[in-house]
Structure 1
Amino acid sequence: MKRISSFLLMFLLAAFIIFMSLKQSENFSGAEYDIRIVNGFTDNSSLALVIWCTSDDKDIGGRALQVGDDFSWSVKTNLWGATPFHCTMKWDATRKQFDAFQVQRDVQRCGPLRTCFWLVREDGFYFSNDQVNWKKDFSW
C-alpha cells in the first residue's frame, strides 16, 4: 500500500508540473517582452519628460524625452517570472513612479506579440498592446 501511495504522489507531482508548464509556458520557456514608453504630450512644451527605469537587479538608466520620443527595452521571463521594472517620471515639478512591467499583470495583457506600450500624457499613463486601443492606468 505504501508503494502505491508513493507512486501516486509522484504521478500527481509530475502531472502538476506538466500542467503548469503548459499553462504558463512563456514563464518556463523564457518569453521576451518589449516595453516602450512614449512621451505623448500634446502641449508642445519645451519641458522634457524625464524617465528613469530600474528593476531589483538591473538599472537600465534614464532619458529626457521630448514630445514623440520613446524609451524602450526588453525583459525576458524565466521559471520564476521576471523582476518588475519600476519607472520614475518627472515632468516639471510633477513626479510619479509606476510599474512599467509586472509579470502577473502584464503577461496576458501585452498580447500575443508580447509588446507593452505606455503613452504618457498630461493627464496620466495609458497602456496598449497594439498602439491603437489605449486604456488609462494611472494618473499623475
Structure 2
Amino acid sequence: MAVTTTKMLQLLITATFICVASGKITVQIMNMIGYDKVLAIDCRSSDDDLGQRTLLYGETMKWRFKPNFSKTTLFHCDARWEADVMLQIHFIAYEYMKDHYGCGSDCRWLFTINGVYAYDSKNDSWDFRFSYS
C-alpha cells in the first residue's frame, strides 16, 4: 500500500511539474476607449519590464510567458489616457493564484469608455472589473 501511495504522489508531482513547466500564458490588453483616445500602457513583473506601449483605438498589446515554478508570477500595469482630464490607473494584469483558474492560459483585458473588462473564458463573456473614477 505504501509503495502505491508513493508512486501516485510521484506521478502527481511529475504531472504538476510538466503542466507548470510547459504551459504558456497569453495576456492581451485592448484599447476600445474611443476612436480618438490613445491608451499608454506600461507593464512589468519582478523579472520582466515590457516597456511602455501606445495603443490606438482597436490596437492590442500582447505577451506570452511561462509562470514561475513557485506560482508567484505577477504582472502589473499602469495605464493612462486623456478624456476631459488625464486618467491613470494601476492594475494587476496577471496574478498566478487568481488567474490560473480564472482566465486560464488566455487572459484578456478590454479598456472601454465605461471602464475595464476582463474576459471569462469559462463563460465566454466579458466581466466588468473596475471604472476609472
- What interval of TM-score do these two structures reach, taking the shorter chain for normalisation? 0.7 to 0.9
Larger radius of gyration between Structure 1 and Structure 2: 1
Calculate the aligned-residue CA RMSD, in Å: 2.6
User: In structure 1, what is the Cα distance between the partners aligned to 2:101 and 2:66?
Assistant: 15
Distance 1:65 1:117, change over 3 A: same
User: In structure 1, what is the Cα distance between the partners aligned to 2:5 and 2:74?
Assistant: 32
SS of the equivalent of 1:36 reads strand
SS of the equivalent of 2:125 reads coil
Contact 2:120 2:127 in 1 (8 A): no
- Residue aligning to 1:107: 100
Where is the strand percentage greater, Structure 1 or Structure 2?
2
SS of the equivalent of 2:99 reads helix
Deviations 1:44-103 (A, max 9, x none): 22x311000011111011111111001000120232125200110001111001010110
User: In structure 2, what is the Cα distance between the partners aligned to 1:36 and 1:123?
Assistant: 19
What TM-score comes out, normalization by structure 2 length?
0.78
1:31 and 2:23 are equivalent in the alignment: yes
Contact 2:72 2:97 in 1 (8 A): no
Q: Percent identity?
A: 26
User: In structure 2, what is the Cα distance between the partners aligned to 1:25 and 1:128?
Assistant: 26
Aligned length: 126
Gaps of 5+ in 2: none
- Residue aligning to 1:95: 88
Distance apart, 1:20 and its partner CA: 5.6
From 39, 42, 56, the counterpart of 1:66: 56
Gaps of 5+ in 1: 1-7
Question: Counterpart of 1:91 in structure 2: which amino acid?
Answer: W
